[in-house]
Amino acid sequence: MLTGKHIVITGGTGSLGTVLVRRLLSGSLGTPEAITVFSRDEAKQHAMRLAYQRQESATDEVIYHNFERLLRFRIGDVRDYASVTSALRDADIVFNAAALKQVPTCEYFPYEAVKTNIDGAANIVRAIRDGKLDVQTVVGISTDKAVKPVNVMGMTKAVQERIFIQANLECPSTRFVCARYGNVLASRGSVIPLFHHQIRQGGPITITDAEMTRFLLSLEEAVDTILAALADGERGETYIPRVPSARVVDIADALVGERPIETIVSGIRPGEKVHEILVSEEESHQTVARDPYYVILPRLPELRRAEFEAPTLEREYSSRDDLMSSAELVGFLARHRLLPDSELVLEEDMLA
């Protein structure tokens, strides 16, 4: 599927980008001609370059042979139209992983979220349309927070989804699809590494709300969803993983075990949701099952396929439904090596 393709990953040094790069380099989907990591963080790019080349320190070879390698690095920002156009000039496939995604940060700096999450997506579409670029597929990477958004991060991601879906009309030679998923296990900034740290310190464990629930998804499963959208998605469709969920307080209890550690409720942070929703009630009427995924069909009538697909869901798909039992949760955490007795490895640190 990817043999001979030039792939560009915007925001490729982030949590998702690093795991996606590792999967693409594995050759399981074919050998690309080139994979370009496009981001504005030169330090992360340099660290990623060294990690993949197994170098302990920089050499002239590392610095000056960037564009002769399968894995390439390009400094730029999705906010800047000129740098986006330059990065996409020879691209066949684009994964848009660039985002401002920390919910409280977006609440305090809302227009910065607009510039990255909305203007960045618009720049990709504009570059393809106005430059008449031969990009075959763009995969927009979204979040559960785009569903019934109550925070700036979700609002901007909801608009980003619409920009990419509508782009199928503006750029008829390019297929635009989306992948939407929730919080990721053991990614930097997620709750499980926080709980591990609090347990090592002897507590207390902090819960923002006793009723809060979350889907449990690994970065590898997130990448699976993105690649499924790439492989099978029709123009304007949105792919969503079907994954288990649990109460956050039950996750904390499973991690604490028999340890004498106190749990306190600290209150919801700015813009935080009690439950994750991956498909809204309104979207459920145009959502079909393609195991192991739900797929939201395009909203725009011009993009709908002629054959009718009966919707699968009768209500919203929320993390408060079908919660795992305590025993199921402990088993799940053990299988993913997430219990405190095992060594926790942040998934974006596993470059190879």
Check if the beta carbon of residue 218 is closer than 8 Å to that of residue 185.
yes
Check if the beta carbon of residue 192 is closer than 8 Å to that of residue 252.
no
Cα separation, 246 vs 162, in Å, equals 30
Token couple for 22: 């590792």
Q: Choosing from 5, 101, 115, 145, which is the catalytic residue? A: 145
Q: Which amino acid is at 131?
A: G
Rg, C-alpha atoms of the chain: 20
3-state secondary structure of 222: helix
Give 3: exposed, middle or buried? Use CB within 10 Å, 0-12, 13-18, 19+: exposed
Helix or strand holding residue 263 (H, E): strand 263-265
Helix or strand holding residue 145 (H, E): none
Token couple for 82: 């000129």
Give 29: exposed, middle or buried? Use CB within 10 Å, 0-12, 13-18, 19+: middle
Question: CB neighbours of 331 closer than 8 A, spacing ≥ 6?
Answer: none
Q: Would you give the DSSP letter of residue 217?
A: B
Q: Which amino acid is at 233?
A: G
Cα separation, 203 vs 256, in Å, equals 9
DSSP code string of 186-247: T-TTSHHHHHHHHHHTT--EEES-TT-EEE-B-HHHHHHHHHHHHHHPPTT-EEEE---EEE
Strands 93-96 and 6-10: parallel
Residue 115 is a catalytic residue: no
Could you list the active site residues? 145
